[in-house]
Amino acid sequence: MVVLSQPALDHFLLLQPCKPTPLFTGIPVVDLTHPDAKTLIVNACKDYGFFKLVNHGVPFDLMANLEHETLKFFKKPQSDKDRAGPPDPFGYGSKRIGPNGDVGWLEYLLLNTNPDVISPRSLFIFKENPQNFRVAVEEYIRAVKNMCYVVLEMMAEGLGLGVAQRNVLSRLLEDEKSDSCFRLNHYPPCPEVQALNGRNLVGFGEHTDPQIISVLRSNSTSGLQICLADGTWVSVPPDQTSFFINVGDTLQVMTNGRFKSVKHRVLADTTKSRLSMIYFGGPPLSEKIAPLPSLMLKGEESLYKEFTWWEYKKAAYTSRLADNRLGPFEKPAAH
């Protein structure tokens, strides 16, 4: 085991000692087979921008198999893993997140999910690893995407858009040019945290996701925290059989602020390693992002300037993780 001296940890974000973040038992739970699932989804997205999805129909085997294959990758010698990086933004990354100086106590693989525009890095990773890994990633993504279309259709119906409009959100992810990506995060345990006098080590710093929707599955190690509407942070009890769904910035704009993109972060654990797999569903690069016209009430004005997903993404990659990326796109409040 590599023993890190405390100065080494100082390069990472340490949260000042405060009361331990409470384990939150109030996370909305949506059963996808429930007759009222549409309403439950919409209420959760308005109140929390976040919910736990159960009875989702994705076989546990697919999750467990991908977890198994992914751990095999992360167990490889560092020099092998480094050959799949640094992220451009796709590929293997360790400790550095994004191009602007953010760091976290994790290593990860970032892949794009559109088979037509699969990046050279993603291809390299699959070529260098047993075929099982690629199959596990592809099977998992296929199943999660299909489930995600159902969730987005229910969301549209729950927003009162009517059956004819039910695909206004899902079509963006189903589009062959959908700019979606997939992230496998490995947070190694950090025993040294115990010596930090109650401070916590940040695995992945606070941020909102830029896309429409994120679908997260993790093993049974805790660490994920979300920020509630009143600004308090709470810990999300892990559940390896369920998905956690995040509203992204793009969906906040498309609902003209009815849904809020959820601020979230991950803290490192002292003894257990955490593995999470996240599908980020985004629109095609050329898509104009604006509130859905059929959602707008008479006289309601957009809270945001119009922009394309490409423009938003370009700006996102010049930002720091914790920045409010939607800020520059907000219209000044009318007096």
Q: Which of 140, 119, 109, 316 lies closest to 215 in space, CA to CA? A: 140
For the bound state, the minimum distance from the C-beta of residue 139 to ligand GA4, rounded and expressed in Å, comes to 21
Rounded (5°) CA angle 153-248-334: 105
Kindly determine how many residues on this chain lie close enough to bind ligand GA4 according to the rule CB under 6 A: 16
Number of Cβ within 10 Å of residue 193's Cβ equals 19
* C-beta closer to ligand GA4: residue 50 or 166: 50
Which candidate, 58, 45, 22, places its Cα nearest to that of 246?
45
Cβ closest to ligand GA4, residue 180 vs residue 255 = 180
171 catalytic? Reply is no
Per-residue burial over 90-128, b = 16 or more CB atoms within 10 Å of its CB, e = otherwise = bbbbbeebbeeebbbbbbbbbbbbbeeeebebbebbbee
Could you tell me which residues come within 8 angstroms of residue 110 by beta carbon, excluding any fewer than 6 positions away?
87, 89, 90, 91, 93, 181, 182, 183
> Which candidate in 121, 166, 217, 274 is catalytic?
274
In the complex, what is the shortest distance from the CB of residue 283 to ligand GA4, in angstroms, rounded to a whole number? 12
Per-residue contact track with ligand GA4, 290 to 329, x per CB under 6 A? --------------------------xx-x-x--------
- Please give the torsion angle defined by the CA atoms of residues 51, 164, 116 and 247, in that order, rounded to the nearest 10 degrees: -20
Does the footprint of ligand GA4 cover residue 183 (CB under 6 A)?
Answer: yes
When the beta carbons of 93 and 238 are compared against ligand GA4, the nearer one is 93
The residues near 176 (Cβ < 8 Å, ≥ 6 apart) are 114, 116
The order of strands in the sheet holding 233-235 is 14-15, 200-207, 264-267, 224-227, 233-235
Q: Which x/- pattern over 93-132 shows residues binding ligand GA4 (rule: CB under 6 A)?
A: ----xx-x-x-------x----------------------
189 binds ligand GA4 (CB under 6 A): no
User: Terminal CA-to-CA distance of the chain, rounded, Å?
Assistant: 60
Q: How far is the CB of 180 from ligand GA4 (least distance, A)?
A: 10
Establish if 252 lies at the interface with ligand GA4 (CB under 6 A).
no
Considering only 28, 89, 188, 189, the residue that binds ligand GA4 (CB under 6 A) is 89
Tell me: does residue 274 bind ligand GA4 (CB under 6 A): no
209 binds ligand GA4 (CB under 6 A): yes
Nearer of residues 133 and 312 to ligand GA4, judged by Cβ: 312
Catalytic residue annotation: 274
Query: Which residues contribute to the site for ligand GA4 (CB under 6 A)?
Result: 89, 97-98, 100, 102, 110, 181, 183, 207, 209-210, 280, 316-317, 319, 321
